[in-house]
Structure 1
Amino acid sequence: MPQLVKGGKYVFGWIKIRAGGELKIPEEALNEYDLKGELKVFILPGSKKSGGFGITSYKKLTDSKLNLILTNNLDLANYNTKKGEMISYRGKKYCWEKIQNGILKLSDDLLKTYGLQIGDVVLSVRGSGLSLGVLTKGPIFEEAQKHSEISMFT
């Protein structure tokens, strides 16, 4: 896993959004964030600087300081909202999606919320211990564009 600059973020690789909104999550990221198999995951908003979103499990989210997202949104916590339906909480949008065999299928609502479309390329990075980062812009994204050794997952 390349580190872009000394002391900087580690990246898993570029991911091209495939037909149907599919993202092929790098195997190393699936292992590190315990996202293997078939499971429901939560999509959290990324930072203003880097855009994109984070992908995390129920366990990681409930064990974190951000557990209020679920305790204050029981329909989301209990998967009673439609898969991929964005809900607003404190001015930010959240949803749940499914990962199957390393593939995360993004809903049209999620793609629209983050200004993404089929064929776009996003950057998967080691985020906090809480979530896998999926970046769409910003200084880390721009630095990664200078590194030809970063793998592309399609």
Structure 2
Amino acid sequence: MPQLTFGGKYVYGWIQGEANGKVRLPSEALSDYGIIPGERVLLMSGSKTSRGFSVLSVPRMRLHDSPLLEAVQPAFESEGTLLQDTWIQHKGRIFATAELDQDGELHLTDRALQAFGIPEHKRLLSIRSSNIAFVNIVQGPIVDRALTHPEVEVFGG
């Protein structure tokens, strides 16, 4: 996993959006965050600058007693599993549940692509982020820097 600048964030690689809203998430990112293919996941919109989305690890949110758990509580069933197609707005961010298939492909609806500011067929940069999520961004200085690094792996597409 390359680090684009000394002391900077590590990147997993590029993920390629497809016409049907599918993106293959890096298996290393899923493993690092304890996200199991075939499970429903929780997404959070990116910043206005970078757009895109974060994939949140619910087990890590619980482990680290994340304050976001209270905000996204309506997305959970009583036994603690994520509900299907749930949308929540909290402090300027959009949270949504999504399906991750057995191959690690995330299926984003047209609504999700629009909400997260992702144009069709757009390549996103997948980056190790916090202790509870990894991010997948559309634009910004880190994306510009990654474009100058041909060693950054491409997933899907």
**TM-score normalised by length of structure 1:** 0.88
> Could you list the runs of 5+ residues in structure 2 that have no partner in the other structure?
none
Which residue among 122, 125, 128 is the counterpart of 1:123? 125
Contact 1:15–1:24 (8 Å) recurs in 2? yes
2:34 aligned with 1:66 = no
> Could you list the runs of 5+ residues in structure 1 that have no partner in the other structure?
none
- 1:1-154 map, 5 Å: 1-62=1-62, 63-71=65-73, 74=74, 76-78=75-77, 79-80=82-83, 82-83=84-85, 85-101=86-102, 102-154=104-156
Contact 2:51–2:117 (8 Å) recurs in 1? no
Question: What is the DSSP-based 3-state SS (H/G/I as helix, E as strand, rest coil) of the residue aligned with 1:20?
Answer: coil
Q: Number of residue pairs matched? A: 149
Question: 2 CA distance for matches of 1:44 and 1:96?
Answer: 9
Q: Quote the offset at 1:66 in angstroms.
A: 1.7
Q: Per-residue displacement from partner, 1:30-51 (whole Å, max 9, x unpaired)?
A: 1111122311111112233322
Query: Could you say what the CA RMSD is over the residues aligned between the two structures, in angstroms?
Result: 1.7
Question: 2 CA distance for matches of 1:28 and 1:70?
Answer: 25
Question: 2 CA distance for matches of 1:145 and 1:105?
Answer: 25
**TM-score normalised by length of structure 2:** 0.86
Contact 1:86–1:110 (8 Å) recurs in 2? no
Question: What is the DSSP-based 3-state SS (H/G/I as helix, E as strand, rest coil) of the residue aligned with 1:61?
Answer: helix
Q: Quote the offset at 1:111 in angstroms.
A: 0.2
Q: Quote the offset at 1:140 in angstroms.
A: 0.8
CA spacing shift, 1:109–1:86, aligned 2, 3 Å: farther
CA spacing shift, 1:134–1:32, aligned 2, 3 Å: same
Question: What is the DSSP-based 3-state SS (H/G/I as helix, E as strand, rest coil) of the residue aligned with 2:29?
Answer: helix
The structure with the greater share of residues assigned to helix is 1
Q: Per-residue displacement from partner, 1:35-79 (whole Å, max 9, x unpaired)?
A: 2231111111223332211001322234313222123xx2x2234
Amino acid of the structure 1 residue aligned with 2:128: R
